[in-house]
Amino acid sequence: MDKVQKYKCTVGFRFNDSSVLFCSHTGKTHVVEDSALELLEEIPEEKAISIESILHKISIKYPHDDKELLSQYISDIIKSLIDYEIISCKQ
């Protein structure tokens, strides 16, 4: 099962449903949507956790949302965060 871990990040200002975020791993600055930031808050820096457990945590927060759509949405955000090297993914 894939596990993800967050790199050290610093959040700057929030604006237009987004936030400015600095990632210490890449040294790059990103603008991330609030939904991605909310997801990042569920991913720890100190240890890797399974994507399954993140999906579980989020689905508890949003019990009325369509499970399949929510899962697809979260997977897409995680993929983007991995691509931007804001989080890492390991087996």
Partner 1 sequence: MKLNVLSNSEIKRCCKNEGLVITIGPYVFRIRSSMQDIHRNLGKLYGQFELAKEDEIVDFNIQIDMPYGFRRFYKPQVDFKLEGYAPFLPLPATQAFPILEWGMNWCIAQHTFDYLSIHAATIEKNGFTAVLPAESGSGKSTLTAIMVSNGWRLLSDEMTLISLRTGAVSPISRPISLKNRSIEVVKAYNSEAIFSNVVSDTNKGTIGHMKSPDSSIESINKTAGISAFIFPKYEARADCNLSPKVKGEALLSAIEQSFNYDILGKIGFKTLTKVIEQANCYDFKYSSTQDAVDTFEALAQSL
- Distance, in Å, from the CA atom of 28 to the CA atom of 21, rounded to the nearest integer, reads 8
- Where does this chain bind partner 1 (CB under 8 A)? 10, 12-16, 18-20, 22, 24, 27, 29, 31
- If the CB atoms of residues 16 and 91 are measured against partner 1, the closer one turns out to be 16
User: Do 7 and 85 touch, CB atoms closer than 8 A?
Assistant: yes
Report the alpha-carbon distance of residue 21 to residue 2 in Å, rounded. 24
Q: Residue 88 and residue 91: Cα distance in Å, rounded?
A: 10
Q: Which is nearer to partner 1, 27 or 63 (CB)?
A: 27
CB of 66 to partner 1, least distance (A): 31
By C-beta, is 30 or 87 nearer to partner 1? 30
